[in-house]
Amino acid sequence: MRRMKPWQLVLVLAWIPVAVIVLGRSFATARVERSAPRIEVSLSERRLTLFQGGERVKSYSIAIGKPSHPTPTGSFSVSRIVWNPGWVPPNSDWARGKQPRNPGDSSNPMQGVKIYFRDPAYFIHGTNSPASIGEAASHGCIRMRTSDAVDLARRLMEGTGAGRDEAWYSRVTSGNSSTEVRLPRAVSMVIRS
């Protein structure tokens, strides 16, 4: 066997940490991709299910759009969350005469958190009408009990690398201002009939 010259050995030893870092990042990326959260919604069952790494993590009861304002079906992407959202009535006949509502206002139809899935006007959000859960009651959005919507949003943030500490969550779910979070990786979402 041929012996390495000292300068060749130095080159080999210098490249080992680089190779470990590059391979480590590749494996970490693959692990993150496999464990990325995804959402599946069944309108007929009135259920939203969160999956992480191919495993079912949690299933929530939801309210969906009325027949006159159906929740859209198809594939969507979640990349934006607003904590403690305000509400501005949309430019629609059903909202004529309604007043904007501030974050934290008990009359605000969007409570706790608003998770965008189709701009400009379709969200997953907490509700001030928990009795509507399980019904076709919204104007196209997916309503959840406020505690469930907050739980889902936290899981999405944590599953995409945007998790925060308890003090942060406590701060953004109270008071009279909203906080927007952009997820570092979009979460896939499929809505079926």
Cα angle value 76/181/114 (rounded, 5°): 60
CA separation for the pair 13, 7 (Å, rounded): 10
CB 84 within 8 A of CB 103: yes
The answer for residues whose C-beta is within 8 angstroms of residue 97's C-beta and 6 or more apart is: none
Q: Which of 101, 125, 139, 145 is catalytic?
A: 125
Cβ distance 96 to 163 under 8 Å?
no
Q: Catalytic: which of 81, 141, 172, 189? A: 141
Listed residue (40, 79, 78) closest to 56, CA to CA: 40
Which structure tokens are listed for 28? 């970490």
Active site residue 125: yes
Tokens of 164: 């925060």
Give the catalytic positions in this structure. 125, 141
